[in-house]
Amino acid sequence: MILCDIDGTIAATGEFLQSRYGIPLAEYPAPFPKEFWTSQEGYEAFRDAAPIPGAVEALKMLDQSNPVHYITVRSPEMKFVTFRWLQLHDFPQGAVFFCDNLKEKGDVARDAALVFDDDPKAPLFYLFRQLIMIARPYNQGEGTWEQVLREGGSKRTRKRF
């Protein structure tokens, strides 16, 4: 199983927040109260964020050999918008695991062959998992979806932390 985080990894949520609220891309996490993410504004951020270039194509390619599932710290209240966003942007069908925090994401990932994430703290929680950190302005990630497409998710694109 391949697990893929959503916000910042396949969804350009940060870019949406930058355009709507002026939040710098390098500011992580975005400085909103927890309630923001279950409000109308949070719903709109999840609904209107564009896919990160190359993510759909790379995950479709990987899904042919290993099923892709999704993992997120979004509130379960955002299930509908999350499933609909994945569907509208033609991502591979897969389960979505809604977690309370990174530790829980790490627990869910215990059976994953490969994990994609963008959170700078992800390496601390995906112990002994193959992790590709998608490069973002706020992390030390080196992987891009274009690299995954070029290299087919081979071991050369995988970083072990």
DSSP string, 123-148: HHHSTTSEEEEB--TTS---B-HHHH
Cα–Cα distance for residue pair 135/120, rounded to 1 Å: 10
In a domain, residue 84? The reply is yes
Q: In terms of Cα–Cα distance, which of 132, 130, 129, 152 is closest to 140?
A: 132
**152: Cα separation from own chain's centroid:** 18
What is the domain count for the chain?
A: 1
21 domain residue, yes or no? no
> d(Cα 154, Cα 90) in Å, to the nearest integer?
23
What is the domain extent for residue 147? 2-11+51-160
pLDDT in tens, the chain (161 residues): 999 999 999 999 999 999 999 999 998 988 999 899 999 999 999 999 999 999 999 999 999 989 999 999 999 999 999 999 999 999 999 999 999 998 999 999 988 999 999 999 988 888 767 899 999 999 988 899 999 999 876 654 554 43
**pLDDT for res 161:** 35
pTM across the whole model: 0.92
The CATH number of the domain where 147 resides is what? 3.40.50.1000
Residue 43 falls inside a structural domain: no
Query: Cβ–Cβ contacts within 10 Å for residue 112, how many?
Result: 20
Q: Is residue 75 part of a domain?
A: yes
57 domain residue, yes or no? yes
Sorted by sequence, the CB contacts under 8 Å of residue 81 that are 6+ apart come out as 43, 46, 47
Note whether residue 88 is domain-resident.
Answer: yes
